[in-house]
Structure 1
Amino acid sequence: MTTARDLSIVAADPETNPAVEQGDLSLALAGAELIDLIDSRAVTLDGDRLVPGASPRTDDPLLREAESLLVRRAPHETVVDWLWRRGRDLAARYRAALEAEGLVAPARPHRNPFSRSRPAPVDSPDLRRAADRWTAREPVLTGLAAAAGITDQQEAALTGLTDEQGAVLGGVYDAVTQLAAVRQRRSIEKAAFDNIWRGQ
């Protein structure tokens, strides 16, 4: 299991805030991958730049893919630049992977009332591990969940992290803030456009 999979499982819980933005979650998942790559020494931080190292020992295909996408030539990418590039549609990809493995139920109910009910998630060590980390409020998982809007325990989430973990989490918060600003600007532009058509 990886931190990103644990975070995706937590986000898929029916009791999770349904208003969590998929873009925010995608950025947090990219941050989770990056933290796991740092912990495995597949990448190190030189200031805010990502310097690739040895390939991680993992069977997780998405984490292997993340490592393969690291820029290997100087000047290396910044944390935030990599989060933006890697995070695109990442929440949907993790959700699809978990659904395919039967770890979470499909997100959308069937529209046909005569169709079979959605399968319940299987009980598995992966689900128990994610639940145990979440219940224990493990700092990395809690910090990423707070950045994604799954929980509002931001202050507690910022304790107990290494310097590199804190730097990545800070990058996630910066990227999420930038995304919120983009959403707000687009909302204002849309409202102004609608008002023009209404003659206001």
Structure 2
Amino acid sequence: MSTARDLMIVTLDVTPGRPVESGDLSLALAGAELIDLNTDESLTLDGDRILPNVRLPQTDPLLDEASAALLREEPYEPVEEWLWRRGQGLSKAYVAVLEAEGQIARQRGRWIPVRTGRTALVDSPARQRAGARWAAGEPVLAALAAAVGIRDLPVEDDPGLTDESRLTVLAAVHDAVMELEGVRQRRKIEDAAFDNIWRGQ
């Protein structure tokens, strides 16, 4: 079970104070993939640069896809660039894979017995493992969840996070999510200004 899958399952399982933005989640999932690939030594980090090692086959298809997507030529890719490149639409890809595997199912309407667009987790060993990791407050999962707004936990405040490579990735995820939020806020301001111009005519 990968950290990215666990994060996806936790996101679907936990009701946050506000809905999780798919862009934020995609960035965090890309970061989770890097952490897992670093853990199994498929890559190392030199500062913020991703140095791929010999490609190892992954049992998780999306993690294997991530391994294949690593840039293998100098000067190598910075973590932040990976997050934006790999993260594009990644949350939808994880939902699609989990749905195809029967880990999640489309809910049926209350009054009309047709499937709706809402998804729900089914009870499965994967859900139980992710839930146990979440309940235990596993530092990496907790930090990724904090980055997307599920849990209020600054990365630097968790004493369980001491690995420099993990901290580098988690900090990059946090910065990328903040940057994306800044883009959203600018668009809101621009849209409001545009609406005001039209109303003023």
Worse overlay, 51-60 or 137-146: 51-60
Aligned to 2:88: 88
Q: In 2, Cα distance between the equivalents of 1:49 and 1:120?
A: 37
Aligned to 1:146: 146
Secondary structure at the counterpart of residue 58 of structure 1? coil
Higher strand share: 2
Q: Percent identity among equivalent residues?
A: 55
**Is 1:79–2:76 an aligned residue pair?**
no
CA contact (8 A) 2:9 2:121 kept: no
**Per-residue Cα deviation, 1:76-131 (whole angstroms, up to 9, x for no partner):** 1100010000001111111121122221233x654971336989644322111101
Aligned to 1:105: 105
Please tell me the root mean square deviation across aligned C-alpha atoms, in Å. Answer: 2.3
Aligned length: 199
Q: In 1, Cα distance between the equivalents of 2:24 and 2:113?
A: 35
CA contact (8 A) 1:28 1:172 kept: yes
Deviation for aligned residue 1:199: 0.7
Aligned to 1:115: 114
Give the TM-score, by structure 1 length. 0.91
**Per-residue Cα deviation, 1:23-73 (whole angstroms, up to 9, x for no partner):** 111100000000000001111101110000022342111001111111111
Give the TM-score, by structure 2 length. 0.90
Q: For structure 1, list consecutive stretches of 5 or more residues without a partner in the other structure.
A: none
Q: For structure 2, list consecutive stretches of 5 or more residues without a partner in the other structure.
A: none
Q: In 2, Cα distance between the equivalents of 1:154 and 1:79?
A: 19
Q: In 2, Cα distance between the equivalents of 1:140 and 1:119?
A: 25
Aligned to 2:192: 191
Aligned to 2:26: 26
**Is 1:56–2:56 an aligned residue pair?**
yes
CA contact (8 A) 2:13 2:121 kept: no
Deviation for aligned residue 1:18: 4.7
